[in-house]
A and B are shown apart, each in its own frame.
Chain A
């Protein structure tokens, strides 16, 4: 079935530690790929996006993500986590078939907790 999968519902890391959040997609063609962040009680904010080209993309707040076609993955990384990064992170896709673009389809999210 077509889907966006975030296998980790909740992750806890220590402040200063590195972070990797996983995202896999299951679609016939490579969609456009996105990561959004939702702080408690807030709306979603775009962290970064991948359309084509360089498979390592840089985003805001020190985040980066790597697209791996062979694994149908778009994992989010950060070398050193800050307490303010505690939030919920959503992977999302936009399908792009034959020039017709769809809308954002979100994964179920990964909640990140940061230990002092």
Chain B
């Protein structure tokens, strides 16, 4: 398996634009997580899915953020409109359900100018 695949690896966008981050989890994993990493706040869980259903989105910072998982092999995290404070590295991770054992993608570095 190629692991968790995220795209794009880097994204530079202007404030106010819509940004979509994509994630393909490891086949057979039924949990998918979106994390955000910043210098100030470290790693924060934004949302996670179980069997394609959002279970906990309490970490989503505001309504500008939305996430979907239309099927077991694909998820998106969308920011609309984007703001400079959204600049961060966004990680997707998947898990087979063993607590804490998550496999991370390489991340998407988002820069909003």
A18 at the interface (CB under 8 A from B): no
B104 and A44 form a contact (CB under 8 A): yes
A101 and B107 form a contact (CB under 8 A): no
Q: A42 to chain B: closest CB distance in Å? A: 6
A92, B48: Cα distance in complex, Å? 17
A108 at the interface (CB under 8 A from B): yes
A103, B42: Cα distance in complex, Å? 15
A94, B95: Cα distance in complex, Å? 14
Q: Which residues of A contact B104 (CB under 8 A)?
A: 43-45
A49 and B42 form a contact (CB under 8 A): no
A104 and B107 form a contact (CB under 8 A): no
Query: Which residue on A lies nearest to B4, using beta carbons?
Result: A43
Q: Which residues of A contact B43 (CB under 8 A)?
A: 44, 90, 106, 109
B93 at the interface (CB under 8 A from A): yes
B106 and A32 form a contact (CB under 8 A): no
Query: Which residue on A lies nearest to B56, using beta carbons?
Result: A103
A46, B56: Cα distance in complex, Å? 23
Query: Which residue on A lies nearest to B48, using beta carbons?
Result: A103
A25 at the interface (CB under 8 A from B): no
A34 and B100 form a contact (CB under 8 A): yes
Which residue of B33, B103, B106 contacts A103 across the interface (Cβ within 8 Å)?
Answer: B33
A53 at the interface (CB under 8 A from B): no
Query: Which residue on B lies nearest to A92, using beta carbons?
Result: B100
B42 and A109 form a contact (CB under 8 A): yes
Q: Which residues of A contact B33 (CB under 8 A)?
A: 103-104
A103 and B45 form a contact (CB under 8 A): yes
B105 at the interface (CB under 8 A from A): yes
Q: B23 to chain A: closest CB distance in Å? A: 11
Query: Which residue on B lies nearest to A50, using beta carbons?
Result: B100
A106 and B99 form a contact (CB under 8 A): no
The 9 A-B pairs of least Cβ separation, nearest first, read A43-B104, A106-B43, A94-B100, A44-B104, A108-B42, A94-B99, A34-B100, A43-B106, A101-B99
